[in-house]
Every structure is written in C-alpha cells, then in structure tokens.
C-alpha cells in the first residue's frame, strides 16, 4: 500500500501545525460571534496578519516579534470593522466582505517587496521528558510556542465563556442585546472588545501561516483559510473543544491531500486541492443534518445591529 | 454624545448622495495612500477618473473598455442585488462566472471545427445553465438542510478555480497549443466567437445584454409582484410567510437569477474579450460585483452607474499601473475603501443624528 510511505507520527505533527492557524482564527471568531457580531472579514484580517507578521519577522529577525505584530495588525483592521458596524450601524455581512476585499488589497501592496524571501526560523519548544516518548512525543510535544498557545487558548476561552461572569455577560450581549442593555451592560463596548480580540487572533493565525506553516509570503496565501475558519465556528456549534477537533480533522484532510500529492498518487492535483473546500461543505451539511439540528448554540442576536434608542 | 433617531422614510436625497460622497472620499483617502506609495496623488487620481474619459490619447481605447469591463460587473451585480434584498447572500458569483465559461466553452469546443449558426446561442444557453447549476448547490443545501449559503457559495469558488485549472491543463487544453496551458481561442472559431458588434471597439453582445438586463431587472423589482415579494422576504421574513409566500421558492429564485447572470457574464467573457479558458481567466469580477451592487444601492439603474464607475477604476487602474508604476493591488484597496465609506454613510440615510447636551 502506497500510504505506508507516509510516516504516521510526522503526519500527525504536521497536521497540528497545519491546523493551528485555523484554530486561532476560528477561536477568535467564536468569541466575536458569541457577542452577537458576525465578522466575515476573517480572511482579510488573517492576510493582514500574515503580511505584517512576515515583514516584521524578516526585519527584526524574530518570528515571535513578527507574530506579535501580526496580532496587532489584525486587531487594528478589526477596529475599522468595529467602528463601521457598531458606530455607523452598517450591515455586518457587507462590512465583513469589505474588510476582506480591503485586507487582501492592502496585504498585496505591503507584501510586494517581500515576495520570495525566507522567514526567520521559529524554534521548537520540546517539552522535557514527554517529548522523548516515541511516536506520541513526535506527534504532540515537539512543537513551537504558538501551537501550545493555541491549545491553551481553547481551554481559556472555554473557561471564560462557561465559567466566568465576564463570559456570561458577553454571551448575554450576543443572545439578546436589548435585554443586556437594559440590565446595564455596555453592549457596544463589549462588542468592541470581542471584535478586537477576534482580530488579534485572526492576525496571529495569519502570522503563523506566513512565518511557520509555509513559511514565505505569497499574494493571497491565506487561500480561503479565513472562510474555512468561519465554517469551523458553525461546524463546532459555537463550542471551543468541538472547534479544536473540527480544525484538526480539517488540517488532517489538508495534510493528507498534500502528502498524497507529494508521493505522486495517481489522482489529479486539482482534484486533491479541492478536497479541503469540499470537505468544508460536507461538514456543514452533516452538522445541519445531524441530531444537533439547526443552529443550536448560535447566539440569538448574531448579525443584528444594536441601536440604543432611549 | 450623539443620539440616533430612525427616519420614518429613507431619505432619497441622502440615499443618492451616499455613493457620490463615498466616491469623493475614496479619492481623497486614496490620494493620501498614493502619496505614501511615492506616486503624485493628483496625477494618479486624474489618471484613474479623468484620463480614461477625457484624454485624447487614451479615451478612444478607454471608453469602449469601460463598457467591456462594466458589462460583467453589471450583469453579476444585478443578479446579486436581488438576493441581497431578500437576505440571500450569494458571494460565490466568481465561481458561477467560471463555471458558466467552462460549460459554454466545453460545449462549443466539443463541436470544433463544425460551423453552424445554432452553436453560438446554444453555447450561451449552456453557459447560463452552468452558472445556474453552480448556484443551485448552495440553494439546494440552504433550502434542504439550512446550510449557510455564504460559506457554501464561497467554498465553491475555490472548487471552481480548481476545475478551471483542470480544464486549462487537461480536458480543454488546445491540442494544437504546443503543450501550453489554455484552450483553443474561441475568437478563431467563427461559430462560437462573441465578436464585436461595433467594429474596432471590442464592444460585444454582452455589453448590449447588460443594458437590456438593467431594464429587465428594473421592471422585475419595481413593476412586478415578485420584486415586492423579494423585498418583503428580506425586510420581514415573518410578514412574507403570513402573506403566503414560500421562502424556499424565493431563495431558489434569487440564486437562480444570480447564478444564471454570473454564468452569462462568464460565457460572454470567455467567447469575447478573454478568448480562451485559461488558468488566469477569472480576475475577480464576481467579488467586485458585490461592491457594485452596494454602490448601486441594490437598484438596477444605480447598479448600471456603479458598474461604470467601477469599470473606470479598473481601466484607470491599468493606466496608472502602466504609466505611473502603481501596483495593481492599489486599485483593490481603493475598491475596498469605497465600500467602507458607502456602508458607513448608510447611517445618515437611515437615522437622524441629534447632538445631546451634557444633561
């Protein structure tokens, strides 16, 4: 069997690396959506993160500084979105699309002189002792800091949303902003913060893409990753752990597809490249067909503008 | 602080002013951007918005080009606008555009070198069907399983791009093309060529159709009950249900219209200006058309003018690229900015703003 040419442990390790940008961006979007805002600009924020992270990484020689810059760039772009939808009351779907178009354009402009350069190396942080376990160690414990950070974020966000008062307030704002407002919660401020957080997470996700995953800058390199992150949030039913599993399944399909291309399986490359996108559609269909029918977990006010009329 | 008071009726003056104001503001902010890119802002703005229309050196070429580039934008935006009114968000027009081109071109090329007058109309029809079929996937999944049409239609863009690669490197590759990617040139196949209808300008049937469609959609939206039903579904799904409209039918209708028109734009482009199926066939008309739809305020007449303005930025953008070495992406930034300003301006259309005193 030709599949035996693929080393399973290495495959899982690279799956985790491939999924990390998705985990980060989708987690950010999950928090944003829980606050009742649908930000379709994830793709735009990711690519801005990717290009900023790459440029700063190359200029400073440090991938971590690059990653921080990526977070800031994503957050900055998301502020624009926040202003337009929260203050100017614009349609969220259209504004998110605008953010993506704008982000892709800005990124192409910024990144042009940096095409074809190699990014600085990111050091892997092998966890002592357990990283030496054969197979399992290679799979899970020989990664860079960002991978561990993404896993910790899943935990933290789950805890925040389900066990903390602040998380409850955020969810109530997303569930019914009028009620939350009359209880005295500051809907606009809370959504501003959530959107900024989502932007930063998408930015880091993008930065990880250009600094670690690829690692290079090419125009339009996110190639729909932001949209897939959006789909993953729906797929997860707005639950952080299911989101992580979803991302890994997804990363698995991508990696398998790339590996099959590399070992020259007799399937057309174009057909293999379609796989992740078709899988997304399939996943969305399955999730809405299953017994978790409908959008259970979808915040009640998702995508609706909040106007304070008193 | 400010206080928002909803307007009872949308202000028609402001509604018209919005797009104009946004274009103006985009010029100013875009000018600042050009300055930072090391390009003379006044020269660049003039070259994008003025020279294609007025300069003697460029306008004979540019003015027809505006209509040629405007035609697919207008066609696609018209279809999308109907859906946007009904809250059906087809953002995968780019994919439907590609599939329309592939379907139509595959049909025509399968008959090569047979000559017949039925080939051209049949090819267009099949192109339309191709685009429509591609948009039926999100329609079916939305109606049957309540799957979000935004994500499905967008994912299908990437799938369509891969099929495009498959076609240009594989099943549609020109057998006499010395191994280069890309299909036979349809312009060299008389029966399938979407030839120019005004000699020397490049203006083709698609331009004419885009104008006819503007009228058709105007009638559909403002003079036909379907237009009302569509608006009702978007503004108040409950009221739409009470009045006995079937939302699923309307969803199918919206996606049929937008998919078919994107397919039409695709087949017109591949048989006309583009000439062949190739990897780089699609240039983002399907996405820019979203901006056109909003810039035109989802109104057919508005969309016509918006399409022309947007085509102007394309033509002017090419000019600045050529003459001033301005990167191509600058125009994309320009278009994104335009949409931002436009959406923000809606605040003034829908609300009155009052200054609140400090208690």
Q: What is the pLDDT of residues A255-284, one digit of tens each?
A: 888 888 887 777 778 888 888 889 889 988
- Mean predicted confidence (pLDDT) in B272-283: 88
User: Do B102 and B12 share a structural domain?
Assistant: no
Instruction: Quote the percentage of chain A above a pLDDT of 90.
Output: 41
A223 and chain B in contact, CB less than 8 A = yes
Q: Is A214 exposed, middle or buried (0-12, 13-18, 19+ CB in 10 A)?
A: middle
**Among the partner residues A93, A234, A271, nearest to B89 by beta-carbon distance:** A93
Between B149-166 and B119-145, two packed helices, what is the crossing angle to 10 degrees? 140
CA atoms of A308 and B8, how far apart (whole Å): 17
User: Do B355 and B229 share a structural domain?
Assistant: no
Q: What is the pLDDT of residue A309?
A: 59
Q: What is the pLDDT of residue A170?
A: 92
Q: Cβ–Cβ of B337/A294 closer than 8 Å?
A: no
Q: Cβ–Cβ of A278/B336 closer than 8 Å?
A: no
CA atoms of A133 and B85, how far apart (whole Å): 58
What's the full length of chain B, in residues?
359
Mutate to test the interface with B, among A26, A80, A105 (most CBs of B within 10 A): A105
Q: Please give the ipTM for the structure prediction.
A: 0.86
B287 and chain A in contact, CB less than 8 A = yes
* Residues A242 and A27: beta-carbon distance below 8 Å: no
Q: What is the DSSP letter of B162?
A: H
Q: Which of A7-16, A225-234, B73-82, B285-294 has the highest mean pLDDT?
A: B73-82
* Residues B306 and B296: beta-carbon distance below 8 Å: yes
* B165 HSE (CA, 13 A, CB side): 12
Contacts of B137 in chain A (CB under 8 A): 281
Neighbours of B352 (CB within 10 A): 12
| B45 inside domain | no
pLDDT band at A292 (very low <50, low <70, confident <90, very high): low
CATH number at residue B249: 1.10.3470
pLDDT band at A6 (very low <50, low <70, confident <90, very high): low
Mutate to test the interface with A, among B156, B279, B333 (most CBs of A within 10 A): B333
Average pLDDT over all residues of chain A: 86
Residue (of B27, B152, B37) closest to B89 by Cα position: B152
Q: Find all residues with CB under 8 Å of A280, minimum gap 6, and list them.
A: A228, A231, A250, B151, B155
| B13 inside domain | yes
Q: What is the pLDDT of residue B183?
A: 87
Residues 6-45 of B with CB under 8 A from A: 6, 37
Chain A residue with the nearest C-alpha to that of B153: A281
φ, ψ at B54 (rounded to 5°): -110, -25
Residue (of A86, A79, A97, A105) closest to A198 by Cα position: A79
User: Do B277 and B139 share a structural domain?
Assistant: yes
Residue (of A63, A65, A71) closest to A206 by Cα position: A71
Q: How far apart are the first and last CA of chain A?
A: 70
Q: A-B interface: how many C-beta pairs under 8 angstroms?
A: 143
Chain B residue with the nearest C-alpha to that of A285: B147
Chain B residue with the nearest C-alpha to that of A295: B146
Q: Cβ–Cβ of B145/A288 closer than 8 Å?
A: yes
Strand ranges, E, within B268-317: none
Task: Provide the b/e sequence for B46-74 (b: ≥16 CB within 10 Å).
Answer: ebbbebbeeeeebbeebbbbbbbbbbbbb
pTM more than 0.90: no
Q: Is the dihedral of CA B37, B41, B45, B51 positive or negative?
A: negative
| B99 inside domain | yes
Q: What is the pLDDT of residue A3?
A: 54
Calculate the alpha carbon distances from B21 to A255, B296, B332, B344 in Å: 48, 13, 19, 11
Residues 264-293 of A with CB under 8 A from B: 268, 270-271, 273-274, 277-278, 280-281, 284-285, 288-289
DSSP reduced 3-state for A106: helix
pLDDT band at B75 (very low <50, low <70, confident <90, very high): very high
* Residues A66 and A56: beta-carbon distance below 8 Å: yes
| B55 inside domain | no
Q: Which of B122-126, B237-241, B324-328 has the highest mean pLDDT?
A: B122-126
φ, ψ at A144 (rounded to 5°): -90, 170
Average pLDDT over all residues of chain B: 87
φ, ψ at B59 (rounded to 5°): -65, -30
CA atoms of B257 and B128, how far apart (whole Å): 10
| Shortest alpha-carbon distance between residue B137 and chain A (Å) | 10
Q: What is the pLDDT of residue B359?
A: 43
Residues 122-181 of B with CB under 8 A from A: 137, 141, 145-148, 150-152, 154-156, 158-159, 162-163, 165-166, 169-170
Contacts of B154 in chain A (CB under 8 A): 224, 227
User: Do B332 and B191 share a structural domain?
Assistant: no
Q: Is the pLDDT of residue B358 over 80?
A: no
The structural architecture, per CATH, of the domain A2-289 is Orthogonal Bundle (1.10)
Q: What is the DSSP letter of B192?
A: G
Q: Is the pLDDT of residue A1 over 50?
A: no
- Mean predicted confidence (pLDDT) in B41-64: 84
User: Do B21 and B112 share a structural domain?
Assistant: no
Q: Find all residues with CB under 8 Å of B31, minimum gap 6, and list them.
A: B41, B42, B44, B45
Q: Give the position of tokens 């800031």.
A: A72
Q: How many domains does chain B have?
A: 2
User: Do B267 and B280 share a structural domain?
Assistant: yes
Q: Cβ–Cβ of A84/B344 closer than 8 Å?
A: yes
Contacts of B291 in chain A (CB under 8 A): 98, 101
Q: Is the pLDDT of residue B357 over 80?
A: no
Q: Which of A116-130, B143-157, B199-213 bottoms out in mean pLDDT, i.e. has the lowest?
A: A116-130
User: Do B340 and B278 share a structural domain?
Assistant: no
CA atoms of B4 and A310, how far apart (whole Å): 9
- Determine the structural domain holding residue B264 and report its residue range: 62-325
User: Do B201 and B176 share a structural domain?
Assistant: yes
pLDDT band at B81 (very low <50, low <70, confident <90, very high): very high
Q: Is A215 exposed, middle or buried (0-12, 13-18, 19+ CB in 10 A)?
A: middle
Residues 85-104 of A with CB under 8 A from B: 88-91, 93-95, 97-99, 101-104
**Among the partner residues B155, B163, B327, nearest to A109 by beta-carbon distance:** B327
What token pair was written down for B90?
Answer: 């087809």
Mode of pairing for the β-strands spanning A124-126 and A142-144? antiparallel
Contacts of B327 in chain A (CB under 8 A): 108-109, 112
Q: Give the position of tokens 């979803």.
A: A246
Q: Give the position of tokens 């993008």.
A: A206
CA atoms of A38 and A238, how far apart (whole Å): 12
| B54 inside domain | no
Q: What is the pLDDT of residue A194?
A: 96
User: Do B142 and B27 share a structural domain?
Assistant: no
For the segment A32-79, what is each residue's pLDDT rounded down to a tens digit?
A: 999 999 999 999 999 999 999 999 999 998 889 999 999 999 999 999
Q: Is the pLDDT of residue B153 over 50?
A: yes
User: Do B295 and B332 share a structural domain?
Assistant: no
The Cα diameter of chain A in Å comes to 70
Who has greater pLDDT, B5 or B29?
Answer: B29
Strand partners, A144: A124
CA atoms of B357 and B284, how far apart (whole Å): 48
Neighbours of B257 (CB within 10 A): 23
Contacts of A274 in chain B (CB under 8 A): 158-159, 162-163
Q: What is the DSSP letter of B204?
A: B
For the segment A164-222, what is each residue's pLDDT rounded down to a tens digit?
A: 999 999 999 998 888 888 888 999 999 999 999 999 999 999 999 999 888 888 888 88
User: Do B331 and B308 share a structural domain?
Assistant: no
Strand partners, B352: B5
CA atoms of A287 and B270, how far apart (whole Å): 38
Residue (of A242, A233, A164) closest to A198 by Cα position: A233
Q: Is the pLDDT of residue B155 over 60?
A: yes
| B298 inside domain | yes
- Mean predicted confidence (pLDDT) in A159-168: 93
What token pair was written down for B252?
Answer: 């199918």
Q: Find all residues with CB under 8 Å of B208, minimum gap 6, and list them.
A: B197
User: Do B215 and B80 share a structural domain?
Assistant: yes
Contacts of A308 in chain B (CB under 8 A): 4
| B307 inside domain | yes
CA atoms of B254 and B275, how far apart (whole Å): 29
Q: What is the pLDDT of residue A222?
A: 86
| B44 inside domain | no
For the segment A231-248, what is each residue's pLDDT rounded down to a tens digit?
A: 899 888 889 999 999 999
φ, ψ at A307 (rounded to 5°): -115, 125
């Amino acid at each position: 069997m030709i599949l035996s040419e693929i080393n399973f442990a290495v495959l899982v390790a690279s799956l985790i690396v491939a999924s990390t940008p998705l985990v980060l961006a989708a987690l950010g979007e999950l928090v944003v959506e829980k606050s009742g805002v649908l930000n379709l600009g994830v793709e735009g924020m990711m690519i801005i993160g990717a290009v900023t992270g790459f440029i700063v990484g190359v200029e400073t020689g440090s991938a971590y500084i690059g990653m921080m810059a990526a977070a800031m760039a994503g957050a900055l772009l998301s502020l624009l979105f926040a202003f337009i939808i929260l203050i100017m009351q614009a349609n969220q779907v259209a504004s998110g699309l605008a953010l993506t178009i704008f982000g892709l354009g800005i990124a192409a402009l910024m990144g042009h002189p940096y095409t074809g350069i190699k990014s600085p190396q990111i050091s892997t942080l092998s966890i002592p002792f357990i990283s030496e376990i054969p197979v399992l160690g290679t799979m899970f414990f020989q990664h860079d800091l960002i991978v561990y950070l993404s896993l910790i974020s899943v935990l933290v966000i789950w805890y925040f949303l389900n066990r903390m008062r602040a998380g409850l307030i955020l969810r109530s704002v997303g569930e019914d902003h009028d009620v939350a407002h009359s209880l005295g919660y500051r809907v606009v401020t809370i959504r501003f913060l959530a959107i900024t957080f989502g932007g930063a997470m998408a930015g880091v996700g993008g930065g990880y893409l250009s600094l670690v995953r690829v690692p290079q800058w090419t125009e339009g390199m996110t190639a729909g990753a932001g949209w897939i992150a959006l789909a993953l949030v729906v797929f997860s039913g707005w639950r952080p752990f299911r989101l992580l599993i979803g991302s890994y399944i997804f990363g698995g399909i991508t990696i398998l597809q790339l590996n099959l291309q590399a070992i020259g399986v007799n399937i057309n490359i174009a057909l293999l490249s379609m796989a992740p996108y078709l899988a997304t559609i399939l996943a969305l269909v399955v999730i809405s067909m299953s017994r978790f029918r409908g959008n259970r977990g979808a915040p009640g006010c998702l995508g609706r503008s909040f106007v304070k009329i008193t | 602080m400010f206080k928002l008071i909803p307007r009872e009726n949308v202000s028609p003056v402001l509604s018209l002013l919005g797009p104009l104001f946004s274009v103006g503001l985009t010029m100013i902010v875009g000018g600042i951007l050009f300055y930072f890119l090391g390009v003379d802002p006044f020269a660049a703005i003039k070259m994008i918005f003025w020279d294609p229309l007025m300069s003697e050196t460029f306008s004979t070429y540019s003015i027809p080009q505006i209509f040629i580039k405007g035609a697919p934008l207008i066609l696609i935006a018209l279809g999308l606008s109907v859906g946007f009114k009904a809250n059906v968000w087809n953002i995968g027009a780019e994919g439907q555009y590609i599939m329309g081109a592939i379907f139509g071109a595959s049909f025509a090329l399968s008959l090569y070198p047979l000559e017949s007058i039925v080939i051209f109309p049949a090819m267009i029809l099949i192109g339309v069907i191709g685009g429509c079929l591609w948009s039926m996937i999100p329609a079916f999944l939305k109606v049957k399983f309540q799957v979000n049409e935004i994500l499905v239609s967008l994912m299908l863009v990437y799938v369509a791009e891969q099929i495009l690669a498959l076609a240009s490197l594989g099943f549609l590759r020109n057998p006499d093309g010395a191994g280069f990617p890309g299909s036979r040139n349809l312009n060299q196949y008389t029966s399938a060529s979407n030839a120019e209808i005004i000699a020397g300008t490049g203006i083709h049937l698609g331009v004419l159709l885009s104008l006819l469609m503007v009228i058709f959609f105007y009638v559909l939206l403002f003079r036909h009950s379907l237009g009302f039903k569509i608006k009702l579904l978007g503004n108040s799904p409950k009221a739409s249900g009470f009045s006995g409209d079937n939302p699923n039918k309307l969803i199918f209708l919206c996606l049929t219209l937008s998919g078919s028109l994107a397919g039409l734009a695709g087949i017109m482009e591949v048989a006309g200006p583009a000439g062949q199926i190739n990897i780089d066939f699609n240039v983002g008309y399907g996405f820019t058309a979203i901006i056109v739809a909003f810039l035109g305020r989802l109104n057919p007449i508005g969309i016509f003018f918006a399409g022309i303005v947007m085509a102007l930025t394309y033509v002017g953008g090419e000019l600045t690229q050529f003459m001033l070495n301005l990167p191509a992406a600058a125009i994309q930034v320009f278009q994104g900015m335009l949409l931002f300003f436009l959406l923000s301006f809606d605040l003034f259309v829908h609300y009155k703003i009052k200054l609140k005193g400090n208690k």
